[in-house]
Structure 1
Amino acid sequence: MHILIFCYHGKNRSRYLAEHLVSLGYSDVAFAGVNDSDHEKIQKEIDKAHVVITVRQNVRDHLHQHYCVDGKRLIELQVDDRPESLFPERGPLSGEAWRAFQREYVYPVLREQMETYLPLE
Protein backbone atom coordinates (compact mmCIF):
# COMPACT_ATOMS: atom_id res chain seq x y z
CA MET A 1 0.00 0.00 0.00
CA HIS A 2 1.43 3.38 -1.04
CA ILE A 3 0.83 6.17 1.51
CA LEU A 4 1.32 9.80 0.50
CA ILE A 5 1.39 12.59 3.09
CA PHE A 6 0.96 16.28 2.29
CA CYS A 7 1.73 19.40 4.23
CA TYR A 8 2.06 22.80 2.62
CA HIS A 9 5.77 22.88 1.84
CA GLY A 10 6.70 19.19 2.21
CA LYS A 11 9.45 19.94 4.70
CA ASN A 12 8.17 19.49 8.24
CA ARG A 13 4.87 17.83 9.16
CA SER A 14 4.60 15.52 6.16
CA ARG A 15 8.25 14.51 6.45
CA TYR A 16 7.93 13.82 10.18
CA LEU A 17 4.71 11.83 9.78
CA ALA A 18 6.23 9.78 6.94
CA GLU A 19 9.20 8.91 9.15
CA HIS A 20 6.83 8.01 11.98
CA LEU A 21 4.78 5.67 9.77
CA VAL A 22 7.96 3.99 8.52
CA SER A 23 8.98 3.46 12.16
CA LEU A 24 5.64 1.68 12.66
CA GLY A 25 6.40 -0.72 9.81
CA TYR A 26 4.79 0.97 6.82
CA SER A 27 7.40 0.74 4.09
CA ASP A 28 5.89 2.49 1.07
CA VAL A 29 5.48 6.03 2.39
CA ALA A 30 6.16 9.33 0.61
CA PHE A 31 5.67 12.98 1.50
CA ALA A 32 5.27 16.18 -0.48
CA GLY A 33 4.13 19.78 -0.36
CA VAL A 34 0.93 20.83 -2.10
CA ASN A 35 2.61 24.00 -3.33
CA ASP A 36 5.38 22.07 -5.13
CA SER A 37 5.98 23.63 -8.52
CA ASP A 38 6.29 20.26 -10.26
CA HIS A 39 2.59 19.55 -10.71
CA GLU A 40 3.15 16.48 -12.89
CA LYS A 41 5.48 14.84 -10.35
CA ILE A 42 2.96 15.37 -7.54
CA GLN A 43 0.05 14.06 -9.62
CA LYS A 44 2.04 10.91 -10.44
CA GLU A 45 2.63 10.34 -6.72
CA ILE A 46 -1.09 10.81 -6.05
CA ASP A 47 -1.94 8.38 -8.84
CA LYS A 48 0.26 5.71 -7.17
CA ALA A 49 -1.17 6.33 -3.69
CA HIS A 50 -3.77 4.19 -1.99
CA VAL A 51 -4.01 6.53 1.00
CA VAL A 52 -3.51 10.31 0.89
CA ILE A 53 -3.06 12.13 4.19
CA THR A 54 -3.26 15.90 4.60
CA VAL A 55 -2.18 17.67 7.78
CA ARG A 56 -4.71 20.54 7.67
CA GLN A 57 -7.93 21.54 5.96
CA ASN A 58 -6.21 24.26 3.90
CA VAL A 59 -3.78 21.63 2.57
CA ARG A 60 -6.69 19.35 1.69
CA ASP A 61 -8.50 22.22 -0.02
CA HIS A 62 -5.40 23.09 -2.06
CA LEU A 63 -5.00 19.44 -3.01
CA HIS A 64 -8.60 19.23 -4.26
CA GLN A 65 -8.29 22.50 -6.20
CA HIS A 66 -5.09 21.61 -8.04
CA TYR A 67 -4.91 17.81 -8.28
CA CYS A 68 -7.14 14.85 -9.06
CA VAL A 69 -7.60 12.68 -5.98
CA ASP A 70 -10.69 10.79 -7.13
CA GLY A 71 -10.90 7.26 -5.77
CA LYS A 72 -8.25 7.77 -3.10
CA ARG A 73 -8.77 7.16 0.59
CA LEU A 74 -8.30 10.62 2.10
CA ILE A 75 -7.38 11.27 5.71
CA GLU A 76 -7.44 14.84 6.99
CA LEU A 77 -5.60 15.76 10.16
CA GLN A 78 -5.75 19.20 11.79
CA VAL A 79 -2.23 20.09 12.91
CA ASP A 80 -0.86 23.62 12.66
CA ASP A 81 2.91 24.02 13.00
CA ARG A 82 3.05 27.80 13.33
CA PRO A 83 3.66 28.84 16.94
CA GLU A 84 2.46 32.39 16.26
CA SER A 85 -0.95 31.00 15.20
CA LEU A 86 -1.31 28.63 18.13
CA PHE A 87 0.13 30.90 20.81
CA PRO A 88 -0.07 34.52 19.58
CA GLU A 89 1.36 35.84 22.82
CA ARG A 90 4.65 34.05 22.05
CA GLY A 91 5.12 35.41 18.55
CA PRO A 92 7.11 33.68 15.83
CA LEU A 93 9.99 31.38 16.74
CA SER A 94 13.13 30.53 14.83
CA GLY A 95 16.12 28.24 15.06
CA GLU A 96 16.30 25.89 18.02
CA ALA A 97 13.23 27.43 19.69
CA TRP A 98 11.15 26.61 16.58
CA ARG A 99 12.55 23.05 16.41
CA ALA A 100 11.83 22.54 20.13
CA PHE A 101 8.24 23.70 19.57
CA GLN A 102 7.86 21.16 16.77
CA ARG A 103 9.23 18.33 18.94
CA GLU A 104 7.25 19.25 22.04
CA TYR A 105 3.91 20.25 20.51
CA VAL A 106 3.47 19.57 16.80
CA TYR A 107 4.93 16.07 16.47
CA PRO A 108 3.00 14.59 19.44
CA VAL A 109 -0.25 16.01 18.03
CA LEU A 110 0.52 14.51 14.61
CA ARG A 111 1.13 11.08 16.20
CA GLU A 112 -1.99 11.33 18.35
CA GLN A 113 -4.29 12.31 15.48
CA MET A 114 -2.80 9.68 13.16
CA GLU A 115 -3.26 6.98 15.79
CA THR A 116 -7.05 7.14 15.34
CA TYR A 117 -6.64 5.92 11.73
CA LEU A 118 -4.22 3.07 12.42
CA PRO A 119 -3.80 0.44 11.25
CA LEU A 120 -4.00 1.67 7.67
CA GLU A 121 -5.53 -0.91 5.37
Structure 2
Amino acid sequence: MKSDFEHWLAAQFAETGPFTLFILLVRITPSNAVPLKSSYAHLIGDEMTWPEMRGLLDSARTPWDGVAFFVGLGHEGGPLPDPVAARRLKDVEADVKADPLTLNRGLFFDREGRHLRIDEAAG
Protein backbone atom coordinates (compact mmCIF):
# COMPACT_ATOMS: atom_id res chain seq x y z
CA MET A 1 0.00 0.00 0.00
CA LYS A 2 1.40 3.39 -1.01
CA SER A 3 1.90 6.13 1.55
CA ASP A 4 0.29 9.56 1.32
CA PHE A 5 3.74 10.83 0.34
CA GLU A 6 4.00 8.42 -2.60
CA HIS A 7 0.52 9.36 -3.85
CA TRP A 8 1.39 13.06 -3.57
CA LEU A 9 4.75 12.64 -5.33
CA ALA A 10 3.17 10.79 -8.26
CA ALA A 11 0.42 13.42 -8.63
CA GLN A 12 2.88 16.32 -8.33
CA PHE A 13 5.22 14.85 -10.92
CA ALA A 14 2.32 14.13 -13.28
CA GLU A 15 1.24 17.78 -12.96
CA THR A 16 4.60 19.57 -13.22
CA GLY A 17 7.28 17.14 -14.35
CA PRO A 18 10.69 17.64 -12.67
CA PHE A 19 10.76 20.19 -9.83
CA THR A 20 12.75 21.48 -6.89
CA LEU A 21 11.65 20.17 -3.51
CA PHE A 22 12.24 22.32 -0.42
CA ILE A 23 12.49 20.11 2.68
CA LEU A 24 11.98 21.20 6.31
CA LEU A 25 12.39 18.75 9.16
CA VAL A 26 10.11 19.68 12.05
CA ARG A 27 9.75 18.80 15.72
CA ILE A 28 6.10 18.71 16.78
CA THR A 29 5.14 19.69 20.31
CA PRO A 30 1.63 19.89 21.78
CA SER A 31 1.55 23.64 21.07
CA ASN A 32 3.98 24.23 18.21
CA ALA A 33 5.82 22.95 15.15
CA VAL A 34 9.49 23.92 15.29
CA PRO A 35 11.67 23.87 12.15
CA LEU A 36 14.92 21.99 12.76
CA LYS A 37 16.87 21.57 9.52
CA SER A 38 16.23 22.24 5.87
CA SER A 39 17.54 21.44 2.45
CA TYR A 40 16.40 21.18 -1.14
CA ALA A 41 16.61 18.55 -3.86
CA HIS A 42 15.81 18.42 -7.54
CA LEU A 43 13.36 15.61 -8.27
CA ILE A 44 13.45 14.30 -11.81
CA GLY A 45 11.15 11.32 -11.32
CA ASP A 46 8.45 9.95 -9.03
CA GLU A 47 9.95 6.55 -8.23
CA MET A 48 10.98 7.38 -4.64
CA THR A 49 9.18 5.41 -1.94
CA TRP A 50 8.49 6.74 1.54
CA PRO A 51 11.03 4.35 3.14
CA GLU A 52 13.68 5.69 0.74
CA MET A 53 12.78 9.31 1.52
CA ARG A 54 12.67 8.61 5.24
CA GLY A 55 16.14 7.07 5.03
CA LEU A 56 17.44 10.24 3.40
CA LEU A 57 15.72 12.42 6.01
CA ASP A 58 17.08 10.30 8.86
CA SER A 59 20.60 10.76 7.45
CA ALA A 60 20.37 14.39 8.65
CA ARG A 61 21.02 12.93 12.11
CA THR A 62 18.39 15.15 13.69
CA PRO A 63 15.41 13.65 15.52
CA TRP A 64 12.28 14.80 13.68
CA ASP A 65 8.53 14.25 13.98
CA GLY A 66 7.35 15.72 10.69
CA VAL A 67 8.62 16.94 7.37
CA ALA A 68 7.26 19.69 5.17
CA PHE A 69 7.78 19.75 1.44
CA PHE A 70 7.34 22.80 -0.76
CA VAL A 71 7.52 22.71 -4.56
CA GLY A 72 9.62 25.14 -6.55
CA LEU A 73 9.53 25.54 -10.32
CA GLY A 74 11.62 27.61 -12.70
CA HIS A 75 9.98 30.32 -14.85
CA GLU A 76 9.55 27.87 -17.71
CA GLY A 77 8.93 24.84 -15.50
CA GLY A 78 11.44 22.32 -14.23
CA PRO A 79 13.81 22.57 -11.28
CA LEU A 80 15.18 25.89 -10.12
CA PRO A 81 18.85 26.77 -10.65
CA ASP A 82 20.87 26.05 -7.48
CA PRO A 83 21.53 29.71 -6.54
CA VAL A 84 17.81 30.50 -6.85
CA ALA A 85 16.84 27.37 -4.90
CA ALA A 86 19.25 28.25 -2.08
CA ARG A 87 17.74 31.75 -1.78
CA ARG A 88 14.17 30.43 -1.92
CA LEU A 89 14.95 27.86 0.77
CA LYS A 90 15.92 30.70 3.12
CA ASP A 91 12.58 32.39 2.33
CA VAL A 92 10.66 29.19 3.10
CA GLU A 93 12.54 28.80 6.40
CA ALA A 94 11.80 32.40 7.39
CA ASP A 95 8.11 32.05 6.50
CA VAL A 96 7.71 28.90 8.62
CA LYS A 97 9.60 30.41 11.57
CA ALA A 98 7.39 33.50 11.42
CA ASP A 99 4.17 31.48 11.16
CA PRO A 100 4.10 27.67 11.57
CA LEU A 101 0.71 27.60 9.78
CA THR A 102 2.78 28.19 6.63
CA LEU A 103 3.47 24.44 6.77
CA ASN A 104 -0.05 23.96 5.39
CA ARG A 105 0.92 25.74 2.17
CA GLY A 106 3.24 22.84 1.44
CA LEU A 107 2.73 19.15 2.10
CA PHE A 108 3.35 18.07 5.67
CA PHE A 109 3.96 14.43 6.60
CA ASP A 110 4.64 12.45 9.77
CA ARG A 111 7.39 9.82 10.09
CA GLU A 112 5.09 7.21 8.53
CA GLY A 113 4.50 9.26 5.37
CA ARG A 114 0.95 10.23 6.37
CA HIS A 115 -0.33 13.70 5.48
CA LEU A 116 -0.60 16.10 8.43
CA ARG A 117 -2.15 19.51 8.88
CA ILE A 118 -1.26 22.17 11.43
CA ASP A 119 -4.23 23.85 13.07
CA GLU A 120 -4.20 27.12 14.93
CA ALA A 121 -4.22 26.55 18.69
CA ALA A 122 -7.25 27.83 20.56
CA GLY A 123 -6.10 30.54 22.87
The verdict on a shared fold, with TM-score over 0.5 as the criterion, is no
Greater strand share, structure number: 2
Instruction: Give the TM-score taking structure 1 as reference length.
Output: 0.30
Per the normalisation by structure 2, the TM-score is 0.30
More helix per residue: 1
